[in-house]
Structure 1
Amino acid sequence: MIKVLVVDYHPIVRAGLKLLFETDPEIKVVGTIGSGIEIFEFIRRFPVDVIISEIDLPELNGITAIRAIKKDNQNLKIIMFSHQPEEIYAISSIKAGAAGYLSKTVDVKTIREAILKVYGGGIYLSEAMAKHLNYEDTRNSKTNLYKRLSTREVEVLKLLSSGKKNKEIAQELAINEKTVSTYKARLFKKLNVTNLVDLIHQAEHTGSI
């Protein structure tokens, strides 16, 4: 039996996924939690094979959580299950250590397939995304622009876009303010802007956030 932990800030999503697999012969939802920070306590206390997690979580975002979790739990498989665009966040999630990415628009069958695949050691991406990654992107395409950003740069960009200050970003990502400033400078250079307003506008325009 594959033991699954569901992490999502919406109670209806948590309840829905648990209900979907209630009678499944191979998959059992062993827990549901609402924030990234709760993951660590849960997996310390209970055995989990696969985590299905939203990116946008209170206290600790999903991508940051993945990186921390995988440091001490290499065999734990993580699937990001998010409303965020796959063509942008799937790459970042896989870089951080996730084994798959699912859009919240997928059907039940697809969720089950993804769980079975990552549990077996595979990487799950939608067919469209897998094909997309095989294409030679033009210099100005959204994906190619995004590929120039590291996982940490994407995290900083997302937090900047949500209105957080350098100090708040440093606290959330457990880095110092000087490092945040360095990442911000890199983002300015890579996205070819000179101020925060243009940075956020460019990120929105290209789909980076």
Structure 2
Amino acid sequence: MTIKSNLLAVKQQIINACFQAQRDSADVKLLAVSKTKPTSAIEAAYAEGQKDFGENYLQEAVEKIESLQHLPDICWHFIGPIQSNKTRLIAEHFSWVHSVDRLKIAQRLNEQRRSQDTPLNVCLQVNISEETTKSGATAEEIIQLAQYVAESEHLVLRGIMAIPAKNAPIEHYQKMQTLFLQLAKQYDSVDTLSLGMSNDLTQAILHGSTMVRIGTAIFGTRT
């Protein structure tokens, strides 16, 4: 299978899920997760019209971003756990960050984004399945964090993100959708529910996801 055919297959999955959810497929953005894959794979996906790419590993991502500066309109999303000492690189190299889960990280990103021409698009990570091994804030903590981000000069609150547990109950998706709608009602800038990967794409779209994060189904097994 080629990256072109893989992209077409994933997009068809999105269309099918949106049909089931009675939604317009244009309302769901595909984020291609390219971690551990070479820049040639990203260029191949870009050539097929894919512009949004997600990265989990910061140092690897920065190297890719710098080597692919010749591609216009490419948009980089950081989706991995954030350590305090890594915020500057995120603030300086990415357009989006999906994994802000505590005030200290938001404060550092806001301060370190000053040198950029545009604010940083922020999704807050919710630990919706309350797994001790995963990053993310509780739904209650998200409300307070959202207020800080919304009031920050160099950040834009775009929404929330979660990685539900494998075979998570429908209630977890419902909670994410409810929290997203609550924040969207409160903040005009909120338009993104980053939810759903290869194994739960349909479930996520049925519960309002506006951005799905797909890696292996596009690029093949990670090395």
**Fold match, TM over 0.5?**
no
The higher-RCO structure (CA 8 Å, 6+ apart) is: 2
Give the helix-richer structure, 1 or 2.
1
Give the strand-richer structure, 1 or 2.
2
TM-score by length of 2: 0.33
Rg bigger for which structure? 1
